Structure 1
Amino acid sequence: MSEELQPHSPLKAFEDIDNEVAAAKRAYPVDHFRLLVVLEKSLRMRRAALPDSHPEVMTAMRDLCLECNTAVQTWMRAPQAPVAPPDSLYRSFTDVLERAEDLSETLGTLRERSLTYNTVGLYCRACGKLRTALKYFEKALALDYPDQDARTRLNLSATQSRLGKHLEAMLYASEAAIKLYETITRDLHAKQAYENKDNGVKTGGRSIPSSIIELPVHGSSVAGNDDASGTAEGQAEGSSTSFEDGPPASSSSSDFRERVVLLCTAYQHMAVEYEYTGNASAATNCYEQGLRLIAEHLEEDSTDPHSLAAIMRKGMESVQRGLDARRAGTRGSINEDDKERSLRKVYAARSSSAVSRNI
Structure 2
Amino acid sequence: MSDTENIDITNLGEGKIDKYIQQLENSILKRTTMYGLDDLTMMRQNQILCKLLNQQGLIALQKQNYEQCIEYLRKAELATIYVPELKVQTFNNLACYYRKMGKTRTALQYLQQALAIELQQKQSTSLPDIYLNLCAVLSQLERHEEAIQHIYLSIIMLQHELLISSFQKHEQRQDQPNEQSFPSRQSSVQYVNSVKSHCNESKKLQERMSILVVAYHNLGVEMEHLKLQFESKKIFQSALQLSEQCLPQEHQLRHALEEIIKKYNSEQQQQGNEQLTLKPLLPKVHQKNTELKQIYKSVSPKQILKRNTQLQQQKNNHFNNFKFTKKNSYSETYRLERERIMSINATTDVIIKNLENKDISNLPYLRTALDTVNQTTIF
The reply to whether TM is greater than 0.5 is yes
1:135 and 1:47 mapped to 2: Cα distance? 31
Q: Any idea what SS the aligned residue of 2:279 has?
A: helix
Q: Deviations over 1:171-196 (max 9, x none)?
A: 11111000011111111111123324
Instruction: From 2, 23, 37, give the equivalent of 1:52.
Output: 37
Contact 1:14 1:46 in 2 (8 A): no
Q: Which residue of 2 aligns with 1:95?
A: 71
Q: Which residue of 2 aligns with 1:225?
A: none
Contact 2:31 2:39 in 1 (8 A): no
Q: What 5-or-longer segments of structure 2 have no aligned partner?
A: 176-198, 287-379
What's the CA shift for 1:150?
Answer: 0.7
Contact 1:278 1:336 in 2 (8 A): no
Q: Which residue of 1 aligns with 2:2?
A: 14
Q: Which residue of 2 aligns with 1:158?
A: 136
Are 1:290 and 2:229 an aligned pair?
no
1:132 and 1:310 mapped to 2: Cα distance? 32
Which letter does structure 1 place at the counterpart of 2:162? I
Bigger shift: 320-329 or 126-135? 320-329
What's the CA shift for 1:129?
Answer: 0.9
Which letter does structure 2 place at the counterpart of 1:267? Y
Report the CA distance shift for 1:276/1:319 in structure 2 as closer, same or farther (over 3 A): farther
TM-score if structure 1 supplies the norm length? 0.63
TM-score if structure 2 supplies the norm length? 0.60
Instruction: From 260, 263, 272, give the equivalent of 1:315.
Output: 260
The aligned runs of 1:108-119 (5 Å cut-off) are 108-109=84-85, 112-119=86-93
What's the CA shift for 1:167?
Answer: 1.7
Contact 2:148 2:222 in 1 (8 A): yes
Which letter does structure 1 place at the counterpart of 2:135? S
Runs of 4+ with >6 A deviation: none
1:30 and 1:166 mapped to 2: Cα distance? 43
1:343 and 1:34 mapped to 2: Cα distance? 56
Report the CA distance shift for 1:14/1:65 in structure 2 as closer, same or farther (over 3 A): same
Contact 1:280 1:323 in 2 (8 A): no
Q: Which residue of 1 aligns with 2:250?
A: 303
What's the CA shift for 1:51?
Answer: 4.5
What's the CA shift for 1:27?
Answer: 4.4
Q: Any idea what SS the aligned residue of 1:105 has?
A: coil
Q: Deviations over 1:235-258 (max 9, x none)?
A: xxxxxxxxxxxxxxx943333222
1:56 and 1:254 mapped to 2: Cα distance? 32
Report the CA distance shift for 1:317/1:37 in structure 2 as closer, same or farther (over 3 A): farther
Count of aligned pairs: 260
Q: Which residue of 2 aligns with 1:76?
A: 61
2:210 and 2:113 mapped to 1: Cα distance? 24
Greater percentage in strand: 1
Contact 2:210 2:247 in 1 (8 A): no
Which letter does structure 2 place at the counterpart of 1:65? C
Q: What 5-or-longer segments of structure 1 have no aligned partner?
A: 1-12, 83-90, 198-249, 346-359
Q: Which residue of 2 aligns with 1:137?
A: 111
Which letter does structure 2 place at the counterpart of 1:136? Y
User: Relative contact order (alpha carbons < 8 A, sep ≥ 6): 1 or 2 greater?
Assistant: 1
1:275 and 1:320 mapped to 2: Cα distance? 15
Q: Any idea what SS the aligned residue of 1:53 has?
A: coil
Q: Which residue of 2 aligns with 1:256?
A: 205
